[in-house]
Amino acid sequence: MGTSMGLRTYILKRTIYSFALLLFVLALNFAIFDLMPGDPTALFASQSRLGGVETAKAMEELWGLNQPLHVRFVVYMRNMLTGQFGISYISLTPIAEEVVDRLLNTFLLVGVSTIFSIIIGVVLGVIAAYKRGSISDSLLVLSSLTTYSVPSFWLGTILLLVFSYRLKWFPSGLTSSFSAANPAPNVFVYITDRLWHLFLPALTLTLFMYGGYLLLTRATMLETLTEDYVMTARAKGLKERTILFKHALKNASLPLITNAAISIGFILSGAMITEQVFNYPGIGMWTWKAIDFTDYPVLHCIFFLVAICVIIANFIADVVYGIIDPRIKYG
């Protein structure tokens, strides 16, 4: 009962803290853009870029650009928290409508590649630690260092050259062969087509990221395997697989959780280069275009979404710490 109450109290405290942190990040984001050189009206409600006086006036009212600084700040906070992000200078469409598809594309790409890279990296890291000093250990470490050190754009370009342009096995970009004008005949065909388009960019990110998890897992496992409880488990006759994955890995997992939380936290911006290489319409490619076209309303939205992901990921990691390691007390 005490542990349950302590956990609930801790979650409540972390929720309040996370919301306060989100407000602070939003205030900092507002200050960065507001202190930029130039007139805020020209940055967020330019008539020439929005294509008309009426649209510019509507955006000026939305952001409160004709109001004093403190009023603009309140309006900005309200807009960010209610999803009123304005109109993109690039597409001249509401950002709230455009962000949904791009969010789904990036979550699918980076989510799949992150999950696979964690699984592959952790499993191979455990094997490398168990076989430390062997040829298998050296090969696993060498391969992980190679893929981890190679630039993701170079790796993606090589995969495109081999599997798309030479062998013609996979498409070179986009997320699907179908559209609203050319819909898929059924759900199975649509899912298969999405996976076909997703394979190369997801493979690129997986190969690029798994090496970090492998090296980190190997390092933490090497320390854990020398602990007394591991020796005791072996003396009891437990299977080596049980010792490695149930006992040793569990106690070596805290640094892995931290690293995974950071990776998931930056899930929206992490695929920027890969999305550019594969012409994949996600948040990363959108960020690149927004920077290139100085689309400040879009950048406002993207920074807000990245902040939310980082805060939520760290909140989940803090809670998982106590679940995995009973030595951590909630207070």
pLDDT attached to residue 98? 85
How far does the chain reach from its first CA to its final CA, in angstroms?
Answer: 14
* 3-class SS of residue 87: strand
Closest listed residue to residue 128, CA positions, set 212, 215, 247: 215
Tell me how far apart the alpha carbons of residues 16 and 216 are, in angstroms, rounded to a whole number: 32
Amino acid in the structure at residue 287: T
Q: How far apart are CA 321 and CA 296, in angstroms?
A: 38
Residue 282 DSSP symbol: S
Tell me the C-alpha to C-alpha distance, in Å, between residue 60 and each of 46, 57, 84, 171, 277: 9, 5, 13, 42, 36
What region does 324 belong to: left with phi over 0, alpha with psi -120 to 50, or beta?
alpha
To which residue do tokens 């997703």 refer? 198
In the numeric block, which tokens belong to residue 172?
């070179």
Angle between helices 69-82 and 2-34 (to 10 degrees): 130
* pLDDT at site 139: 92
* Rounded alpha-carbon distances, angstroms, from residue 275 to 134, 202, 269, 282, 292: 38, 10, 10, 7, 15
Q: Which residues contact 319 (CB under 8 A, 6 or more apart)?
A: 7, 10, 11, 14
Q: Which of 308, 282, 286 is nearest to 102 (CA)?
A: 282
Considering the four listed CATH numbers 2.60.40.290, 1.10.3720.10, 3.20.20.70, 2.40.110.10, the one that applies to the domain covering 100-293 is 1.10.3720.10
Q: Which residue in 83, 105, 106, 82 sits closest to 96, CA to CA? A: 83
Going from N- to C-terminal start, the domains of the chain cover 100-293
In this prediction the pTM is 0.79
CB 254 within 8 A of CB 295: no
pLDDT by 10-residue block (mean), the chain, 331 residues? 62 84 86 71 69 77 79 86 83 84 85 88 88 87 87 87 88 74 78 86 89 87 77 77 76 77 66 82 84 83 84 80 62 53
